[in-house]
Structure 1
């Protein structure tokens, strides 16, 4: 296929996605031969406290593990919609856990963070049963899910409640996350954080410290929902000032929604999001291995 035909096809496909249910289309086009899936494992007592595990079909021993949290303004979303994320990372040899969590109006801040911490604790305790190495554990999210990942990685309260610590994370990955968003402007989000009395401790940027795990922050430079300069750029600067290793990328062909969709096989032409995530995981794993070996070499 010529480059002009390929470009025309991909633009038409993107328009098709915009006109129908994008997530259903992406999942329908997602390969199923790269993983085995274990569905709806309970990590708590509530019906929303369930997770799916994607085990790579050809996993190496002691594979890295990613716990992924989806977005939806803390009032919508389902793990069943993000099979394309599980497949993409599993196809690169990563064990993936995609967790549901309680949403507004059932709960408000910070109870969904407690759910996230419980999901991470379950993963830490059980990932070896699925070929993963709990010593290579990452949290990752998109949009409000990136906020959840950031808070688990930066604010020790939540993992401490689950008898863990952010120090046991190898790193965390945020896609188009809101990390510094007070005062709240989005009407869907205001009641989640008790607007106008939103607590300052709800903001990830207020929890940056020198002990934070290595970070990968990715955003769309044309994001009109979550300001990338204030949120991704501001948090990256704060992490660097604290001496935390951080990588920061912006992609122009994406928007807030298609940034995560670019992980899927049909839309990887939009931006190398999957490659950057995998590179980050491989680099942090190699750096840590080198640090462990250095005293004896």
Structure 2
């Protein structure tokens, strides 16, 4: 397990980080993040329905020889909010590192409840497997990544074969998964906003990603703020990492100082990148093809 201290310079950057921690205006992060040279193809349908759309970000022209590794990124929002357009900075940041990035929407409460958003997420992955070669991505090198509720979606698809199985796929097609401040073990549910999403107190016990870890699980990179006030990092990130190690699954576990639940994902933006080396950690994991040594 590796721990990184915060390294900041500049009062303006710190002020922006504090503002993000308070209200998470990710549209502001997009606004202040350089667009770069990544190419975006937006509003592609992966299934019928308004919330079944996705955006694809490609590396700058000439930056990649051959098909690039693919990252499917699921955003957070407690399964009640979120929009793919707010995470353009994630797509651009990862595409600038040479990856093809897919950012899908998925249906939210109260339109749907658990497990419908997992079916949506699995459909987006199946679309990626079928279609991403046309966008320069390698369908044999797909990684799932998510922040908060999105990390839960990524974990469930990577660990519980039910969801990809409905789409004729298996978790074994994934090279790895990346969780940023994810909830993986949260029963009994304390958050009143989350309770109706999972029909609490009648939440199915098999809704928890931790219960599906096996030796067949894909390698994982798990990152959390050391002082996360929203999702308990010891129980969730620490507990998931421990369970993966028990099953001899390669996992890298990182905790960062000086970032909160929202600023962890915001640190992928060029403007806030000095908050934490999140992008570098993701880059290294994907380039290693998920072959991280257990730590």
Q: TM-score range by the shorter chain?
A: over 0.9
Any unmatched runs of 5+ in structure 2? 1-7
**Secondary structure of residue in 2 paired with 1:75:** coil
For the pair 1:144 / 2:149, whether they are aligned, the reply is yes
Give the one of 231, 234, 241 matched to 1:236.
241
Q: Secondary structure at the match of 2:103?
A: strand
Higher Rg = 1
Tell me the residue number matched to 2:4. Answer: none
What's 2:195 paired with? 190
**TM norm structure 1:** 0.92
Higher helix share: 1
Shift of 1:23: 1.3
Does 2:10 align with 1:7?
A: yes
Partners of 2:109 and 2:23 lie apart in 1 by: 26
2:263 corresponds to which residue? 258
Q: Does 1:173 align with 2:175?
A: no
Any gaps of 5 or more consecutive residues in structure 1? Answer: 288-297
Q: Distance in 1 between matches of 2:232 and 2:251?
A: 19
Show the counterpart of 1:294.
none
Structure 1 CA distance, aligned partners of 2:244 and 2:24? 37
Cα RMSD between the aligned structures?
Answer: 1.7
Aligned partner of 2:25 in structure 1 is 22
- Deviation, 1:61, is 1.4
Q: 1:43 aligns with which of 29, 42, 46?
A: 46
Shift of 1:7: 2.6
Q: Which runs of 4+ in 1 moved over 6 A?
A: none
Which residue matches 1:282?
287
| In structure 1, C-alpha distance between the alignment counterparts of 2:15 and 2:106, rounded to whole Å | 35
| Alpha-carbon separation, structure 2, partners of 1:12 and 1:178 | 27
Where 2:162 maps in the other structure, the secondary structure is helix
- Give the TM-score taking structure 2 as reference length: 0.93
Cα deviation, residue 17, structure 1: 4.6
1:30, 1:87 within 8 Å by CA — same for their partners in 2?
Answer: no
Matched, 1:115 2:130: no
